[in-house]
Amino acid sequence: MNKRLKGKNIVITGASGGIGEQMALKAAQNGANIALLARREPNLLAIQHRIEQQFSVRVLVFSVDISKRAEVEKAFTAIFSKLGSVDVLVNNAGFGVFDEAHQASWKDIEGMFQVNVLGLISCTQFVIPHMKERGSGHIINIASQAGKLATPKSSVYAATKHAVLGFTNSVRMELSRDGIYVTAVNPGPIATNFFEIADQSGSYVKSIQKLMLDPEKVASTITKAMFTNKREINLPKWMNVGSVLYALFPRMVERVGKKAFFKK
């Protein structure tokens, strides 16, 4: 349980499934009011109904394409009007497509940057002024271990997550004087529908099936960290060792891990 969340207002993007849905359920269980943002409105309404049946909290639903600035602005205007404030923003919306760089379609490349990077920045811009005015808040950006250690067939996806980490690290320092926490979450592969798009052949999922994270456990870890000054959450912890080694010995890691990296 996280008693700090009781009565707080939490916005979660990419909330129509996976860890977004699980975080919404965990936060509501802890007494927080929730604003759910995603494109799939039927899924959002189902989650809203489920939460309202179980917990005495407010649940707002917004069908939003995070890549469209006007839709994001409209949603946040409504959120501030109805809830009055945003205490926690979880930038969870994102997707990936695994292709080698020369094979990636321009549509997929633009889409990944629009959602994973620009959409995240857009949402963050709308909450920062309000959090600064109140002198409190928590921004949680779901990045990836791919943002620390890029591998073959994920060049564009990894580039977006490197961008997310760069943005997060800078914003953390900018807001450190305002009582606002900023956390990066770097998970490895999670057992969600992410791979229905990212790995349509199913070969990558098959090779790492035993290593995939449980979305409920990931959501629980993130929810427990809300309103704590946690710089990063790396899941699983052992996988982050590879990222640390890569930062120190990139040539060695690329040589030793080459065979494993090409399993994607």
How far is residue 109's CA from residue 191's CA, in Å, rounded to a whole number?
23
Give the start-end residues of each E strand in the chain.
9-13, 33-38, 59-63, 88-91, 137-142, 180-187, 232-235
Q: In a 3-state reduction of DSSP, which class is residue 234?
A: strand
Of residues 157, 181, 204, 246, which has the active-site annotation?
157
204 is catalytic: no
Residue 176 φ/ψ, nearest 5 degrees: -65, -25
Whether residue 233 contacts residue 185, with contact meaning beta carbons closer than 8 Å, is answered with yes
Q: Are 66 and 123 in contact (CB under 8 A)?
A: yes
Q: Which residues of 135-160 are buried (b: 16+ CB within 10 A; e: fewer)?
A: eebbbbbbbbbbbbbbbebbbbbbbb
DSSP string covering 97-135: --B-TTT--HHHHHHHIIIIIIIHHHHHHHHHHHHHHHT
Contact predicate 39/15, CB 8 Å: no
Q: How many CB atoms lie within 10 A of CB 113?
A: 16
| Dist CA 261 CA 152 (whole Å) | 6
Contact 231, 184 (CB under 8 A): yes
Residues designated as active site: 157
